[in-house]
């Protein structure tokens, strides 16, 4: 296998351990055009770099990289590069809560106030203008299902979550949500809400009687082998985090930037707190293992993590048919796929018709030129390279 040096691209083939990759398979796979299809965006300075992974439920089919994790330092992207996955954290948090549903300790249709009494008596804004705000009692209080499907009426965040989303303990943030009126009567609208997912994580803390990050690590990340998934990168992990970029002046070229939702330094455990709705860092390999478990109905490597019923609840449409948005529990879900994107342009999608998982990891606040088409270039190349994965 060889790759032209002019592309600064890297192809790594990893069998994620359920089925081995033979030498003949390795040679055949090396011809895939995934990296070469995305490389032109790097050459035009519309994309700093990317890690691209394609898997089925049994193994990773390819991990390919293009471009730079750090342009100034000429540090190339690697399969082990770590990314802030932002809202890709939401499905992971939702899956963690479903562990307690499987345990019989939480019910999706229970009101949130059953677990968090501070939510008792919450009202919604029935009407408002510049001079008044009218609050009314909701038809029913927000349920656990509501907060996981963005139909609770809880706003995106509270007024306390400034200047970044990770500077207050989870318990404090969630109490501030309970002091904020609902935007609408539960179930009548869809309103994307970090606060709702954070509230689900707080339920985990109260029911499991342990910090959310400890529960997540012990019950989900460790059993799945998600060794780099964390809210607080270690010094070694911090060195592997891809730099973030935005479009340069006049929408040309790239400028390094910081993640505006997080407090720096990212390794600081004294002033940074877990942000379950969007604070996780991870690698492509970690995300692949999580989605493989889901495609296997809750199992990975012969180890059951979630029940099949829990996986179905997570990945089916939960939003009412009267609403345009199709969302599951922590997942964008509908038709033949489920997955989630992240604020700095990351995305993971499981295509159930093809049986494929596509992991797209970049670190871009925005793209210059036609850089926003780079993910489509990856997806199209991946589908072309692995047509045998179709059912």
Inform me whether the pLDDT recorded for 295 exceeds 60: yes
User: What pLDDT is stored for residue 19 in this prediction?
Assistant: 38
- Record the tokens describing residue 8, joined without a space: 């600064």
Q: CATH number of the domain at 90-96+106-208, please?
A: 1.20.58
User: What pLDDT is stored for residue 27 in this prediction?
Assistant: 30
pLDDT digits (tens, 9 = 90+) for 128-164: 999 999 999 999 999 999 999 999 999 999 999 999 9
- Record the tokens describing residue 117, joined without a space: 């009494």
Which residues of the chain form CATH 1.20.58? Answer: 90-96+106-208
- Record the tokens describing residue 292, joined without a space: 């493989």
Band (pLDDT 50/70/90 cuts) for residue 32 is low
Inform me whether the pLDDT recorded for 390 exceeds 70: no
Cα-Cα-Cα-Cα dihedral sign, residues 75, 78, 84, 87: positive
Which residues of the chain form CATH 3.40.710.10? Answer: 5-89+214-389
Spatial contact of 70 and 243, defined as CB atoms under 8 Å apart: yes
pLDDT digits (tens, 9 = 90+) for 44-98: 999 999 999 999 999 999 999 999 999 999 999 999 999 999 999 999 999 999 9
Q: CATH number of the domain at 5-89+214-389, please?
A: 3.40.710.10
Q: Residue 257 phi/psi, 5° resolution?
A: -140, 175
Inform me whether the pLDDT recorded for 37 exceeds 60: yes
Alpha-carbon radius of gyration of the chain? 21
User: What pLDDT is stored for residue 347 in this prediction?
Assistant: 98
Give the Cα separation of 63 and 35 in Å (integer): 9
Band (pLDDT 50/70/90 cuts) for residue 377 is very high
Query: How does 145-177 read in b/e, with b if 16+ C-beta sit within 10 Å?
Result: bbbbbbbbbbbebbeebeebbbbbebbebbbbb
Inform me whether the pLDDT recorded for 171 exceeds 90: yes
Inform me whether the pLDDT recorded for 11 exceeds 60: no
pLDDT digits (tens, 9 = 90+) for 239-281: 999 999 999 999 999 999 999 999 999 999 999 999 999 999 9
User: What pLDDT is stored for residue 24 in this prediction?
Assistant: 32
Give the Cα separation of 142 and 131 in Å (integer): 27
| Consecutive H or E run containing 356 | strand 356-361
Whether the predicted model's global pTM rises above the 0.75 cut: yes
Name the least confident of 7-21, 63-77, 111-125, 230-244. Answer: 7-21
3-class secondary structure per residue, 68-131: EEECCCCEECCCCCEEECHHHHHHHHHHHHHHHHHCCCCCCCCEHHHCCHHHCCCCEEEEECCC
- Record the tokens describing residue 305, joined without a space: 């993590």
Spatial contact of 125 and 184, defined as CB atoms under 8 Å apart: yes
User: Looking at per-residue confidence, does 5 or 140 come out higher?
Assistant: 140
- Record the tokens describing residue 258, joined without a space: 């910081």
Q: Kindly report the average pLDDT of the chain as a whole number.
A: 92
């Amino acid at each position: 296998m060889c790759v032209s040096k002019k592309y600064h691209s890297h192809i790594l083939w990893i069998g994620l351990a359920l089925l081995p990759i033979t030498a003949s398979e390795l040679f055949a796979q090396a011809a895939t055009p995934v990296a070469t299809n995305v490389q032109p965006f790097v050459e035009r300075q519309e994309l700093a770099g990317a890690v691209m992974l394609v898997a089925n439920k049994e193994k990773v089919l390819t991990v390919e990289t293009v471009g730079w994790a750090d342009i100034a330092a000429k540090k190339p992207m690697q399969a082990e590069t770590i990314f802030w996955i932002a809202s890709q954290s939401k499905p992971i948090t939702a899956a963690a809560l479903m562990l307690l549903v499987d345990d019989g300790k939480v019910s999706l249709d229970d009101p949130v106030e059953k677990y968090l009494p501070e939510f008792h008596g919450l009202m919604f804004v029935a009407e408002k203008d510049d001079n008044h705000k009218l609050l009314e009692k909701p038809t029913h209080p927000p349920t656990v299902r509501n907060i996981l499907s963005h139909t609770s009426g809880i706003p995106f965040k509270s007024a306390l979550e400034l200047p970044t989303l990770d500077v207050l303990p989870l318990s404090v943030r969630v109490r501030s949500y309970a002091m904020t009126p609902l935007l609408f009567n539960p179930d009548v609208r869809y309103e994307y809400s970090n606060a709702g997912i954070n509230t689900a994580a707080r339920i985990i803390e109260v029911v499991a009687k342990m910090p959310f990050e400890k529960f997540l690590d012990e019950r989900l990340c460790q059993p799945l082998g998600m060794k780099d998934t964390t809210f607080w990168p270690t010094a070694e992990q911090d060195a592997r985090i891809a730099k973030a970029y935005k479009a340069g002046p006049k929408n040309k070229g790239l400028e390094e930037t910081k993640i505006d939702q997080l407090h720096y330094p990212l390794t600081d455990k004294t002033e940074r707190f877990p942000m379950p709705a969007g604070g996780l860092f991870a690698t492509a390999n970690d995300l692949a293992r999580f989605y493989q478990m889901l495609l296997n109905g809750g199992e990975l490597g012969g180890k059951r993590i979630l029940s099949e019923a829990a996986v179905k609840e997570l990945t089916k449409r939960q939003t009412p048919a009267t609403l345009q948005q199709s969302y599951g529990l922590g997942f964008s879900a509908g038709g033949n796929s489920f997955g989630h994107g992240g604020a700095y342009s990351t995305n993971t999608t499981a295509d159930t018709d093809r049986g494929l998982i596509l992991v797209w990891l970049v670190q871009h606040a925005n793209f210059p030129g036609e850089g926003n088409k780079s993910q489509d270039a990856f997806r199209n190349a991946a589908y072309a390279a692995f047509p045998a994965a179709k059912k």
